Amino acid sequence: MKRISALFLAILLTFALAGCGNTEQREPSTPSESTQQPNQTVTVPTESTPSEIALPEDFVLINGGTFQMGSLESEAWRSEDETAHAVALSDFYISRYELTQAEYQAVMGENPSSFSGDNLPVENVSWMDAISYCNARSTQEGLTPVYVVDGQSVSWDRSANGYRLPTEAEWEYACRAGTDTPFNTQTSISAEEANYWGHYPYLIEDNYFSQGNLETKPGVYRQTTVAVGSFDPNALGLYDMHGNVGEWVWDWYGSYETGEQTDPTGPASGTRRVYRGGGWNDFAKNLRSAYRATLPPDSASYNLGLRLVRNAGTGSGNVESSSTQSNGQSGGNILIAYYSWGGNTRGIAQEIQRQTGAELFEIEMVTPYSTDYNTVLDQAQEAQNNQDRPELSNHVEDMSQYDTIILGYPNWWASIPMPVASFLEEYDFTGKTIVPFCSHGGGRFGQSLTAITKMVPDAVLGEGLAVSYSGGSGLSEDVAAWLEENNISFE
């Protein structure tokens, strides 16, 4: 049994790019009559369509209604920021598909995606890029652009009939399609139902020693985006609401208002925008309907794209939104702080130290995790599940003297190790720049940047560096290029 477990672990935790690479791409299928939900109906545009301008045929009218946004307390892997609350929504139109590269290219004349294919979802677009695309496409099609951009401030004209991002509430309502379960496919989701890191189905973290308990067994990990519409749609006829790429929404990240609200638009200001649904390299737990991922509005990722929305009624008023991000510049006095279990992160930190001359600080625990690999896998997932804050045995004497913290850690279960969470909670990072680097076995940052930005919302997040294991012979060059990108000069 022990040998079988060890073997399974070896396979399971071969985070390297051992590819199953089977990218089955089907033609988008048409949702059948069975897509109707009892209390959430899908109708085709009728004469009540307010705009004379025809809607693209792959948009669906979502009839408004009231739903519970957020997750039930009993939902495994939920976070505190998913407080359930009632939301009432008006009708809106939403695209059946994630925005494709062909659609982006046709309007913007460029394609920033990491993977290449007309019918693949566009990715590597920042929130600001997404807003620009919406306006540019509206103009091209003779619609009124929705957004007015003034530096980091963006105002949304709710009466405009152009393309826009869904609000966070609209996105979740459309994704759930009447369900209140972790996924719109009910209590689990398989790699045949969505494009994600199929080796890590829901609850794998707790069940890797006894897979018999798993509702969904590990499946294929495709290591790429796939053509939009490759899987069955949800009950509203929408494809890829879980997986493929995460999808930017309008809202700044913040705690939910818990009273009942109508057409909420999120906080008026903030530092990170929300994105939803998870992508091709996320674990199932981060595909949940209620899971809230965040990044600064000018950040982009190969795991993150968008889906378009249009008004279905006559909206009114403006939604103002401004950034509260301080204009932190990386540089100044630098500290390199890192946690390392097996030495890879330490080696990268030492290379950064060699190139910058900055001070080095290793985050250490009063009671370190086991040095045995199988045991630490178990301890780490349990610590993450419980959101432990292990006591640290060393402390930065005077954090106020540093302007930039280069923060390193290994990717553990698609997030940060809990001693890094203890470190982030110990100090005031307001106005400081955190420049993250991460050693990983194939998952790059996973959801670790979301975890960091949620913990230190008042810090500026610099460009990150994801290093495969110890980085190999290219490490020195990669570190140099990344430091330059962050305007961190050499000693």
Ligand X SMILES: Cc1cc2nc3c(=O)[nH]c(=O)nc-3n(C[C@H](O)[C@H](O)[C@H](O)COP(=O)(O)O)c2cc1C
Write out the residues near ligand X by the rule CB under 6 A. Answer: 15, 340-345, 376-377, 380, 410-414, 439-443, 446, 469
**Minimum CB separation from ligand X for residue 282, in Å?**
10
Of the pair 143, 405, the CB lying nearest ligand X is at 405
**Minimum CB separation from ligand X for residue 349, in Å?**
9
In sequence order, which ranges of 231-368 are alpha helices (DSSP H)? 344-356
Distance, in Å, from the CA atom of 429 to the CA atom of 459, rounded to the nearest integer, reads: 5
The answer to whether the CB of 225 falls within 8 A of the CB of 121 is: yes
Distance, in Å, from the CA atom of 60 to the CA atom of 83, rounded to the nearest integer, reads: 28
Q: Is the dihedral of CA 381, 383, 386, 387 positive or negative?
A: negative
Report residue 17 as tokens. 């790019």
Report residue 187 as tokens. 């209590």
Question: Bridge partners of 392?
Answer: 365
In angstroms, the first-to-last Cα distance of the chain is: 54
Of the pair 180, 388, the CB lying nearest ligand X is at 388
Of the pair 278, 443, the CB lying nearest ligand X is at 443
**Minimum CB separation from ligand X for residue 224, in Å?**
16
Q: What is the CA radius of gyration of the chain?
A: 22
Look up tokens 């982006």; give the residue: 104
**Minimum CB separation from ligand X for residue 376, in Å?**
5
Distance, in Å, from the CA atom of 391 to the CA atom of 311, rounded to the nearest integer, reads: 50
Angle of the 344-356 helix axis to the 475-485 helix axis, nearest 10:
60
Of the pair 127, 445, the CB lying nearest ligand X is at 445
Look up tokens 């509206």; give the residue: 138
Question: Bridge partners of 359?
Answer: 335
The answer to whether the CB of 184 falls within 8 A of the CB of 177 is: yes
- Calculate the CA dihedral of residues 471, 472, 476, 480 and round it to 10 degrees: -40
Distance, in Å, from the CA atom of 437 to the CA atom of 349, rounded to the nearest integer, reads: 9
**Minimum CB separation from ligand X for residue 59, in Å?**
36
Of the pair 190, 411, the CB lying nearest ligand X is at 411
Of the pair 246, 446, the CB lying nearest ligand X is at 446
**Minimum CB separation from ligand X for residue 46, in Å?**
48
Distance, in Å, from the CA atom of 337 to the CA atom of 193, rounded to the nearest integer, reads: 40
**Minimum CB separation from ligand X for residue 273, in Å?**
24
**Minimum CB separation from ligand X for residue 368, in Å?**
12
**Minimum CB separation from ligand X for residue 91, in Å?**
40
Of the pair 145, 471, the CB lying nearest ligand X is at 471
Of the pair 236, 348, the CB lying nearest ligand X is at 348
**Minimum CB separation from ligand X for residue 197, in Å?**
9
Of the pair 285, 440, the CB lying nearest ligand X is at 440
Residue type, 171: W
Report residue 434 as tokens. 């955190």
Distance, in Å, from the CA atom of 184 to the CA atom of 289, rounded to the nearest integer, reads: 7
- Counting DSSP H helices and E strands in the chain, the numbers are 10, 21
**Minimum CB separation from ligand X for residue 79, in Å?**
17
Of the pair 26, 354, the CB lying nearest ligand X is at 354
Q: 483 — phi, psi (to 5°)?
A: -65, -40
Of the pair 31, 442, the CB lying nearest ligand X is at 442
